[in-house]
Chains A and B, each alone.
Chain A
Amino acid sequence: MAIKKNPKLIVSTSVSDAVAKIAEDAVESGVSFDDLLNKEEKILKAKTGTDEETLNEVVNLKSQGSVIPGQSLINPTEQKYPWETPPTFTNPREALDNIVSLLLKPESVKSIAGALVDGVSVSDLATTIMYAKFFEGEINPDVMLLLIEPIIYVIMGIAEEANIDYNLEPDDVDEDKEETEIDVQKNIEEFNKEFDKIKNQVSKKNINLEEVNENILPKNLLDKIKSKGSDIKSLLSKGE
């Protein structure tokens, strides 16, 4: 079919909405998608499932403990975290420009393509990138949330160009494939198996005060715990 007209002007506040409108306009204009559809089979398939190594890494990370609530409040006022200072970009468009520039650098594209093939989902990648940008104090939380969608589309574009059969979301399933009851049962069993594995590994970790990382709990506090033991009252405990 010959192309009848140029693109209609479309202004939208979300990329998805703009995409839907442009696709409709394209079809009305006689634009064929054949050349996109007739591509050969995707060369690189994203890995799915969990491997032993990744699982161990997750368990290890979860076993390291977490920050004590309110810890950040005891920092000296002049020693601010990057996200506590004014962000580099408050204008989403400028932030998008900056982030897309970084994403499209050869080394970034290489890493992104590698991650996608390894099975990392597009949404996880976008989230990680945006969270890192916030963490580094480059953008504020509002801009971060505003830019997730466009960044997802950029990563999808990279994946498509690299001919990767990527996962859009972590729990991506082939939606064209009808799930049978056996498939569902199999997935539940697999989930339970993995869940038990994590549970067992975490519960096996007996906390030994001698092995507590001093970077997490200073030595003087550790000594105090050892000497006073059960005499130490919780801040949330009932008063005398």
Chain B
Amino acid sequence: MGLFSSIKKAFKKVTRGIGKAVKSVAKGIKNIVKRGFKAVTELDIKEALKIAATIGAIVVTGGSAIGAFGGSLATSTVGSWMVGASNAITGFTIGSVPVGAVFKPFGYLGKAVGSTVGAATDLTGITTKAGRMGYTNIGTAASPNFVVDADKTFKAGAFKGDTLASVKGGTDTAFGLGKAVNTAGEVYKIPAGRVFDAATGTVVDVSGSKLAELTKELGFEAGSLKVGTTGELVNATTGEIINAVGSDTLTGSKIGDFALSTSAGVASSVASGYAQASLMAGDPIGSYGAGLPDEQATLSAQEIGSAYRNINIPVTEAYQNLTYGTGDLGYQASFQGNLFTQPTVAI
């Protein structure tokens, strides 16, 4: 038998086998879900396949590529659960092998590929950017106003524990999460020091009473400060930076930090949008997904090493092995490229 005939034969056999395996996994998931959640009485095979596809795609691509799909894969509870835990791993070596370096290609994959995927499905008209990214219109159909995730909760300040939707349902007139979406579905970043004003649908400077309040709070004379172009608080006359935008601050901006700590009138002025933008922009919970605990328990490197040893895979040759699962080094290494930027620890 020639090479191609053998290949075709093997192909048929393998794909038929995999097709069966995928379907049996889906059937297994039907039973697992039914057993775990009594409320789920009937699970369609297509729904079970969706679960299988979600988990499988996350495992194969190391999660990050699929995470960047946005939409259901990334924001699903199971997706967040899988991705979130791995984000906790900051870096390690196994034996003398620096795992981060070994798995560098997957780090590249996760970063470079993901953002392009959603754009492709947008092109096909299958998705819209706003829909895919999980933006929610909390305005009206005639006058839409999008937010990243209306269900996200504030991590601190006066609205701690409240969702953006509930705050919006109150008396505030402005909102934002550091990013805004226009009616065409285009996302743009709200520059630090500016706010998205829902009343006008535009991004405006922090001004008026809120600025006066900030100025007073920081011990300066009324009217002596203004917001600089990049979000810093500057002397209105000399331009001297009073509060620089710092990456080491809680919100990325001193003004944001201040807004965090104050509870007065945050929801009732234009500045509240800025405050919320500052609040949410650096919110790590948002990237993990709703419903997840604040602190992820760290998976120890020892456990990963053990997982490989238990199945007789020499950890020093892990790169040569094509293995899958949450314990797979490729999976662990691929999230946001953290492994390549963090110091490693020997075990």
Q: Which residues of A contact B (CB under 8 A)?
A: 1, 3, 5-29, 31-37, 39, 42-44, 69, 91-94, 96-97, 100-101, 104-110, 113-114, 123, 126-127, 131, 134, 141, 144-150, 152-154, 156-165, 168-169, 174-176
Q: How far is the CA of A23 from the CA of B76 in the complex (A)?
A: 13
Q: How far is the CA of A171 from the CA of B22 in the complex (A)?
A: 15
Residues in B neighbouring A20, C-beta threshold 8 A: 25, 28-29, 32
B40–A108 contact, CB under 8 A? no
A153–B57 contact, CB under 8 A? yes
- Interchain CB contact (< 8 A) of A29 among B46, B59, B81, B319: B81
Residues in A neighbouring B88, C-beta threshold 8 A: 6
6 cross-chain pairs, A with B, having the tightest CB-CB distances, nearest first? A157-B57, A27-B36, A153-B56, A9-B327, A106-B120, A10-B325
Can you list 12 A-B contacts with CB-CB less than 8 angstroms, sorted by A residue number? A11-B313, A11-B325, A18-B324, A43-B126, A100-B60, A131-B11, A150-B56, A154-B60, A161-B73, A161-B117, A162-B126, A169-B16
B22–A113 contact, CB under 8 A? no
> For the complex, is B69 an interface residue (Cβ under 8 Å from A)?
yes
B55–A19 contact, CB under 8 A? yes
A15–B123 contact, CB under 8 A? no
A114–B124 contact, CB under 8 A? yes
Q: Which residue on B lies nearest to A9, using beta carbons? A: B327
Q: How far is the CA of A96 from the CA of B321 in the complex (A)?
A: 12
B72–A153 contact, CB under 8 A? no
B7–A134 contact, CB under 8 A? yes
Q: How far is the CA of A154 from the CA of B47 in the complex (A)?
A: 17
CB of A130, distance to nearest CB on chain B (Å): 8
A33–B311 contact, CB under 8 A? no
B113–A100 contact, CB under 8 A? yes
A37–B15 contact, CB under 8 A? no
Known contacts A3-B293, A11-B308, A26-B78, A160 near B323 by CB under 8 Å: no
Q: How far is the CA of A29 from the CA of B55 in the complex (A)?
A: 15
Known contacts A19-B55, A69-B2, A163 near B25 by CB under 8 Å: no
A93–B330 contact, CB under 8 A? yes
- Say what secondary structure dominates the interface of chain A: helix
B120–A108 contact, CB under 8 A? yes
> For the complex, is B322 an interface residue (Cβ under 8 Å from A)?
yes
> For the complex, is B183 an interface residue (Cβ under 8 Å from A)?
no
A15–B59 contact, CB under 8 A? yes
A11–B60 contact, CB under 8 A? no
B15–A123 contact, CB under 8 A? yes
Known contacts A28-B36, A153-B59, A160-B53, A109 near B117 by CB under 8 Å: yes
B319–A93 contact, CB under 8 A? yes
Further 6 A-B residue pairs, CB within 8 A, beyond A18-B326, A33-B51, A36-B72: A93-B319, A104-B114, A123-B18, A149-B21, A157-B53, A157-B54
A11–B311 contact, CB under 8 A? yes
CB of A70, distance to nearest CB on chain B (Å): 9
Known contacts A3-B291, A97-B109, A104-B117, A13 near B323 by CB under 8 Å: yes
